[in-house]
Structure 1
């Protein structure tokens, strides 16, 4: 498949921060295929298996975690990229990597870590993704990080749009290797951002109902869901509610993807970009939902926050998660000798590097590892550790 002229072309990459050694024995891969493979083979990616998506340390094998969510985002992203003649490999790599910077316990853990690190610049999971991939995960002998392509790093930095005020972790990376933070991201990065929204908007409904925190009747109060349900019921009138729920989720994803493709094609035709440089200089994103779908999606999000993410049962677990992360930060900052030897040995002497180093350690934890370390260095806590 020929790439569109405005797609990211691996033959025109801006390169990597560090020159590659000879890799003649590593297979015939282009730059973005290599990026994808480096993500998949990373320890940080494997840790997503035990990091919260919606439910903390889920005991049920059928619930999504950060790893399975990232795989689902990648599948949606590749479908969109192929339809628009964009680079599928870069899109997939961005989708797979987008959540690597999340600390344990999702947004509850991030809130606690941000507060604990307030004096050292705070914490931002998007910026931490870049810190992990360019600084902390270092499987190579001759440079830090995974040495990803410029387009990969830039896409992760800006997949939610241009960055006006970079958090400290991103600012450090940008100072070392400028990422044109004020410009629009590549279309591949824009696709990854909306593939993420499509995945969790719909799959979180599925998990919420499966967990018993949402009911179908509640979900059908959302116009977008109600329309999808009626269409599915009309097509399969004899289907059970449980089977029809799966059809609803699939059809709703398809409907959102179809809308995104139609609106994005309209915007691309109107802007008429001739190169990826034109994409970076565009006044607005070129990958988007229609105004009607964007409004419907915002309504769905409001519902999910009110009925699932802020459900009393979820809030109680989130409070315990905040206690664990805050307790770990206090313990390690008060007595760094309690850090594992390899982390204690590298502890900087001065602030803010000292607090940031401890933040790096905590942010890399899985849910169950955080629970175990809390019990070790702080005390008992009532929190599931999962499988």
Structure 2
């Protein structure tokens, strides 16, 4: 498919932080394809398979993890990017990398780590994604990090749009590899962000219904959801309620994707370059006003009914206690750290605590539970919410 004039061009990339010797290069790949592959082959990406999406340490294997969520985001992102004539490889790289900075136990773990790190500059999972891909992953001899293209690092940094007040982690990278944080990112990055919204808005409904934490009748109190459900009932009169609800999720994803394609195409019409996208002064990729309002209402519903469900809140508190205890233990006695982390632990603050936070943020749920048990002599109780 022919690319749109406002698509990012790997041949015109602003380059990488560190110069590379391409002798023995592995195959005829574009720069953005290389970035996608580097993310897939990273340790941080592999760890996503055992990190929380919504349900902490699920006993069932049908619930989404941070990895399966990421793959679903990438699938949605590529569909939208292809329809808009964008660079699919850059879009996919941004989708695959957008959650690499999440600590164990999802947002509960992030809140606990942010509280522990408050005296040392705080913690933010999105900024930690940048720290992960630029400094903490170390597969190469000549430099730290994955050495991704400027466009990829920029898109990951601005997953939620321009950054007015970067925290210490993002500010450090911006100083070494300037990212123009006050400007909007490429349309590929904007598509990756809305693909993330589409994926978790709908797949969290699916998991919530499966786990019995979401009430279907309450979900159908949203008029636009009810309208779609009634239409599906009309088209499939013999289908069970369970199958209709799954079809509801699938169909709503399709409606959202089509809306984003149509609205973004109209917003970008007439633009002649990616530079015009960045200087537009507003996001061009996303939902139409009608679907933006629907999506806002859906998110509000999900926070009320699922994310803040009493069982979720109780489990999140226990998960936060695990992260807080780990941070306190390693801070009090660095000998508890694995040798490879103990050997590089800085002496002075805030670097010392930031290094400890790097270690904890990289943990999977199961590894964090195992380390907690090793330190305290007992396994934490109640760390499942399904």
TM-score, with length taken from structure 2: 0.98
Contact 2:318 2:383 in 1 (8 A): no
Greater mean alpha carbon deviation, residues 45-54 or residues 370-379: 370-379
Alignment of 1:287-366 (within 5 A): 287-366=285-364
* Deviation (angstroms), 1:378: 2.7
Could you say which residue in structure 2 is the equivalent of 1:274? 272
Q: What is the SS of the residue equivalent to 1:15?
A: coil
* Deviation (angstroms), 1:215: 2.1
* Deviation (angstroms), 1:379: 3.9
Contact 1:233 1:244 in 2 (8 A): yes
* Deviation (angstroms), 1:292: 1.1
Distance 1:94 1:266 in 2: 23
Contact 1:159 1:193 in 2 (8 A): yes
Q: Are positions 1:48 and 2:48 aligned together?
A: yes
Q: What is the SS of the residue equivalent to 1:382?
A: coil
Instruction: Pick closer, same or farther for the CA change 1:87–1:316 going to 2, 3 Å.
Output: same
* Residue-by-residue CA offset, 1:242-276 (whole Å, 9 max, x unaligned): 1111211110000011111111112112xx22111
Runs of 5+ consecutive residues of structure 1 not aligned to the other structure: none
Contact 1:133 1:145 in 2 (8 A): yes
TM-score, with length taken from structure 1: 0.97
Distance 2:23 2:170 in 1: 29
Distance 1:22 1:199 in 2: 36
Alignment of 1:246-265 (within 5 A): 246-265=246-265
Q: What is the SS of the residue equivalent to 2:75?
A: helix
Alignment of 1:127-138 (within 5 A): 127-138=127-138
* Deviation (angstroms), 1:24: 3.7
Greater mean alpha carbon deviation, residues 26-35 or residues 209-218: 209-218
Could you say which residue in structure 2 is the equivalent of 1:215? 215
- Count of residue correspondences: 384
CA RMSD of aligned residues (A): 1.2
Contact 1:158 1:189 in 2 (8 A): yes
Distance 2:97 2:323 in 1: 23
